[in-house]
Amino acid sequence: MTNITSKNKNRHDNVYSLDDRRRAKVSVNDPAKTQDEDTAGNERLNILWVKVGGLWPANTGGRLRSFHILSQLSKKHKVTILTTHLPGEDPDALKQQLPSCHQVISLPYASPKRDSTRFLLSLLKSWFSPLPVDLYKNQVGDLQRAVLKKLNVETYNFCIADFLFAVPNVPLNASIPTIFFAHNVEYMIWKRLCSNESNPFKRVLLELEWRKMRNFELSVCKKAEMTIAVSQEDCDQLSVSAPGCAISAIPTGVDIEYFRPTDVLFKGKPFELVFTGSMDWHPNEDAMLYFIDAILPLVRNSIPQVTLTIVGRNPGRKIYDAASKADVHVTGTVDDIRPYVDQAALYIVPLRIGGGTRLKIFEALAMGKAVVSTTIGAEGLPLEEGKHIVRADDARSFADKVVMLLKDRKQRRALGMAGQQLMEEKYSWSTVANEFEARCRDILV
């Protein structure tokens, strides 16, 4: 899945040139002098990992991906994590979950919510900044100072800026390479938001935001030594938009030991649909509002007894109101999504907006569930149509596919079993972490 576009960078804003830094690393990081080797005989790396928005609990797709990669990397390398946590989250729990990490530092920070005065102030200030508001509001002074302090006192092989939101807190002109870990093509999310917005005033604002996001995101690709995307599609998109930059891709993974079929499989509720995801992420909220309004009535015209459960943290008033009118169950935050997926006959992903890859689909497949998704919902996932997944992009065809599979237990079972086998064979987190490490090592050659 790797496709690297090379670049020859000669940046005048850096203290050291790229060649100088590589020569320095050969000297400082000579395994025979200063570092051990891992079990494969590779140099043991010293990694600084920076993330805004936390890692634990691992209850979002981005957190899950980063957490599992860090868990694997820290078993072989010296990893220092600098991150933030939300009110009510326990930073000590993160340390306990990542015992192999050299150091875990988590600072309290809550990004302004969209309906708050803090967000409005951030929006107004961002208009006088090259940063779009979604990045402007994630500048964390304490985190910026902690990053600089670490860079001043210790030598790292490289710094990982995890998500675009981390980048404003990381000095791209530092004396060590920065690797940008791009979980999404962020500007495409905002561009799709703009395309789906019917309010003319909001559409003008979103037009401004997605263009600012694109400019910043592509500038980061140019300044970083390497950009690692989470799908080949994202890699290709960024490579076209930022030609000459070093951009590669890794696959998405799933915890195949945790997400497994149970005795309930194929014995659950025969007309139950389920969706899982963070409901405070706008693409997920939009997907469920769209499904309840445009698709669910069509499904119930054919099968009146169909039920839907929406599982995920922080659903907003719009979701609760729509769910109440349509007799849809909304769980809110749960400790474990598996019982809800277990009970369902079918897993749905009707996303119209998004980027990156949907870990939720891999989790459902690992549990042996048949999945119906939009093309955007399954974007970037190497799944064969009709074998591992069923896709549909308009309300009528999506409803038809759902009805077809609810009525065909044999086909649901075939899809689920094929998807489960694929997950077990190719997409464990240890495999993904090895790919990630290999891409990181590309900049050290």
Secondary structure of residue 399 in the 3-state scheme = helix
Q: Where are the beta strands (DSSP E) in 135-254?
A: 158-162, 178-182, 226-229, 247-249
Q: How many other CB atoms sit within 10 Å of the CB of residue 91?
A: 17
Helices (H), 275-408: 282-290, 296-302, 317-326, 338-343, 359-366, 395-407
Q: In the structure, what pLDDT confidence band is assigned to residue 354 with cuts at 50, 70 and 90?
A: confident
Q: How far is CA 419 from CA 269, 293, 367, 425, in A?
A: 20, 29, 9, 10
Dihedral (C-alpha) 23, 28, 31, 33: value to the nearest 10 degrees? 130
Q: In the structure, what pLDDT confidence band is assigned to residue 445 with cuts at 50, 70 and 90?
A: confident
CB burial class (10 A; 0-12, 13-18, 19+) of residue 382?
middle
Domains of the chain, first to last: 18-251+429-442 (3.40.50.2000), 272-426 (3.40.50.2000)
Residue-averaged pLDDT of the chain: 89
Predicted structure pTM score: 0.78
Secondary structure of residue 182 in the 3-state scheme = strand
Question: For the segment 143-174, what is each residue's pLDDT rounded down to a tens digit?
Answer: 999 999 999 999 999 999 999 999 999 998 77
What is the DSSP secondary structure assignment for residue 59, as one 8-state letter? -
β-bridge mates for residue 17, sequence order: none
Question: For the segment 238-256, what is each residue's pLDDT rounded down to a tens digit?
Answer: 999 999 999 999 998 999 9
Question: For the segment 177-228, what is each residue's pLDDT rounded down to a tens digit?
Answer: 999 999 999 999 999 989 989 999 999 999 999 999 999 999 999 999 999 9
Q: In the structure, what pLDDT confidence band is assigned to residue 261 with cuts at 50, 70 and 90?
A: confident
Q: How many helices (H) and strands (E) would you count in the chain?
A: 17, 13
Pair type for strands 46-51 and 78-85? parallel
Q: What is the mean pLDDT of residues 295-304?
A: 98
